Amino acid sequence: MITNKEVNLGKTMARLFVLAVIPSFAIQAFVLDPTVSGYNETWGPVLAITNVITGFSLMFVFAITTKLFGDDNNPFVRISGSIAFVTQCVFVMNAFAGPLTSNNEDAYLTTNQVLTAVGGVGPVWAIFLGIFTISVLRSDKVDLLPGWGIGAGYGAAILVSVQGVGSAFGLIPDAANIIILVLGGVILYPATVWALGISFENSNSN
């Protein structure tokens, strides 16, 4: 079980993650020119900050989810949750790679080259994220989640994992990749994280 402080912290971080995803998506979808690829000097730093916020809050959600669902009867949840947490730490540590390189006149590589290099962890992060999510959904405490959260979780886990593998091997057309990213990463996964926040609260009433 988790403590009252962990319940409140988990709920807060779950909601912070969802709220931070919205401006990040809005900037990329409606502000940046989709025909121009690469780092944007104006909005790149803003996106870097939102990535730190979403990454930081998600680490709390991962940690508390692992504790709640990964009891002695669910060692797979506990282990896969630890892997997902560490992977998330690595992922968020690269959030300032763009602004750092862009503001470094002596940088050996260009900003876009650095972002491409650090982005190489993305597909593996997506796979581990999918595995951890499914392991939680198959645990004996899944009833703590609302029904819509379970459905969103399965959808998000599948789409995020497929997008990770597909992007790594160039198997997904650009148009389909955008649809998968929006549906899985902007709609279903934030819904799953919000549902996890609800599960923290439900655990406190059982």
Selection from 151, 28, 145, 135 nearest residue 78 by Cα: 135
Look up the pTM and report it. 0.91
Q: Return mean pLDDT, the chain.
A: 91
Note the pLDDT of residue 201: 94
Residue 206 has pLDDT above 70, yes or no: no
Q: Which of 1-5's residues contact partners 24+ apart within 8 Å by CB, and which partners?
A: 1/68, 1/203, 2/64, 2/67, 2/68, 2/200, 2/203, 2/204, 4/204
147 exposure class (CB count in 10 Å sphere: 0-12, 13-18, 19+): exposed
Confidence of residue 119 (pLDDT cuts 50, 70, 90): confident
Number of domains in the chain: 1
* Residue corresponding to tokens 């991962």: 62
Note the pLDDT of residue 52: 94
Residue 16 has pLDDT above 70, yes or no: yes
The least confident of 28-32, 57-61, 168-172, 200-204 is: 28-32
Residue with more model confidence, 206 or 84: 84
The least confident of 59-73, 116-130, 149-163 is: 116-130
Residue 136 has pLDDT above 60, yes or no: yes
* Residue corresponding to tokens 């999918």: 130
Residue numbers of the domain that contains 55:
4-203
